[in-house]
């Protein structure tokens, strides 16, 4: 019984450590990366617009990292597994126009007659 308790504690400690490392990476490392990218862009270009673009790009990347589970779940809703037919809601019938080439002096490219 003692070994089961130790195993449960080890699993709990590992989960806790994993959560802390994830928080460290998404919080601290991502914010440092955004700040460094803005500073490096500013130093190379001396442009507020370029530094602002680097800031927006870094924040967008940070948002994508923080929202990765939501993006993963939305792909599962859009793409139907098992070879289901594609989604066709809101699409009407397709109309195809065939242009036959006409012989004569007024023939233009693609068979259109002027």
Work out the average pLDDT over 60-73. Answer: 79
In a domain, 43, yes or no: yes
Range of the domain at 78: 2-89
User: Do 62 and 25 form a contact (C-beta atoms < 8 A)?
Assistant: no
Closest CA to 37 of 47, 25, 27, 51: 51
In a domain, 107, yes or no: no
- The pLDDT score that the predictor gives to residue 112 is 52
| CA quadruple 47, 60, 21, 23: dihedral, nearest 10 | 100
pLDDT in tens, 34-57: 999 999 999 999 999 999 999 999
Element (H, E) at 38: helix 30-45
The torsion angles phi and psi of 23, rounded to 5 degrees, stand at -60, -40
In a domain, 64, yes or no: yes
In a domain, 21, yes or no: yes
Work out the average pLDDT over 52-72. Answer: 85
pLDDT in tens, 25-35: 878 888 898 99
In a domain, 42, yes or no: yes
The count of structural domains within the chain is 1
Work out the average pLDDT over 76-95. Answer: 58
In a domain, 112, yes or no: no
């Amino acid at each position: 019984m003692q070994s089961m308790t130790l195993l449960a504690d080890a699993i709990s400690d590992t989960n806790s450590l994993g959560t802390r490392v994830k928080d460290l990476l998404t919080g601290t490392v991502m914010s440092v990366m955004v700040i460094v990218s803005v500073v490096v862009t500013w130093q190379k270009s001396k442009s507020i617009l370029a530094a602002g673009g680097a800031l927006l790009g870094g924040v967008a990347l940070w948002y994508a990292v923080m929202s990765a589970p939501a993006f993963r779940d939305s792909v599962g809703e859009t793409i139907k597994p098992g070879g289901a037919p594609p989604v066709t809601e809101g699409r009407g019938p397709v109309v195809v126009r065939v242009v036959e080439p006409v012989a004569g002096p007024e023939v233009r490219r693609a068979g259109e007659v002027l």
